[in-house]
Amino acid sequence: MPRLKLGVLISGRGSNLQALIASCADPSFPAEIVIVVSNKSDAKGLDHARAAGIATAVVEHGGYRNRESFDRAVHDVLVGEGAELVCLAGFMRLLSSWFVETWHDRIVNIHPSLLPSFKGIDAHAQAIAAGAKLSGCTVHIVRAEMDAGPILVQAAVPVLPGDDEDSLAARILTMEHKCYPLAVKLIAEGRVQIDGDTAIIDMPGDTDDHIISPSVR
């Protein structure tokens, strides 16, 4: 069975890219990365991709007159490499509505909170300021509205006394690295049905193996 072809967009170290690279290194994983695109030429994630023998491209946004023309250049690279699903992994550019519509239901993002709580760039700080005792991460299909769209996978972690943004971010990141490959796997296996603003996950026997599951001690 052919593997789902991924295009991964990054701007920096792309630790979630590394998690995807590791998953795709397993031949039984139903997806492969065909291209990593960065809007910054010095993104550390490019080195990781090259080290894994994955094609890379740099599309620097400074060279384009507006958001959509930049996005069209990224789109051309993705299409040229045969990408079927776009994975955002620390990509620090807002996507144009043209791009989001062109890749409708085929762009995936990860956000470090249990959406719809704590949208935006400072999710960890928001969780701590709110005194939340649980936070986590969410993999979702990208819509025009930021940090919204059908939810694919979520995982929860405790917020501990004394946590600062860094310690909470590190704890959530370990979950991100499990959730992102899981979400890609579910899509690649055809188990995700998008129904408007929600994603229905089809699992044999109605199991909950798609959930990074909380359990109680």
Start-end of H helices in the chain:
15-24, 44-51, 67-80, 97-102, 123-129, 165-188
* Identity of the residue, 40 or 210, whose beta carbon is nearer to a second copy in the bound complex: 210
111 is catalytic: yes
Near a second copy by CB under 8 A: residue from 134, 144, 170, 190:
134
In whole angstroms, give the CA distance from residue 15 to residue 6: 16
How many residues touch a second copy under the rule CB under 8 A: the total is 44
* Identity of the residue, 71 or 176, whose beta carbon is nearer to a second copy in the bound complex: 176
The reply on whether position 108 binds a second copy by CB under 8 A is: no
Reference 187, options 61, 5, 62; nearest CA is 5
In whole angstroms, give the CA distance from residue 174 to residue 60: 30
* Identity of the residue, 92 or 156, whose beta carbon is nearer to a second copy in the bound complex: 156
The reply on whether position 198 binds a second copy by CB under 8 A is: yes
Give the active site residue among 111, 124, 177, 210: 111
Q: Give the pair of three-digit tokens for residue 62.
A: 């400074």
Near a second copy by CB under 8 A: residue from 60, 104, 133, 170:
133
Asked if the bond preceding 116 is cis, omega within 30° of 0, the reply is: yes
Residues 158-197 that bind a second copy (CB under 8 A): 158, 160-162, 175, 178, 197
- Length in residues, the chain: 217
Orientation of helix 165-188 relative to helix 15-24, angle to 10° = 40
Catalog residues that contact a second copy under the rule CB under 8 A: 114-118, 129-134, 136, 138, 150-158, 160-162, 175, 178, 197-203, 206, 208, 210-217
Residues taking part in catalysis: 111
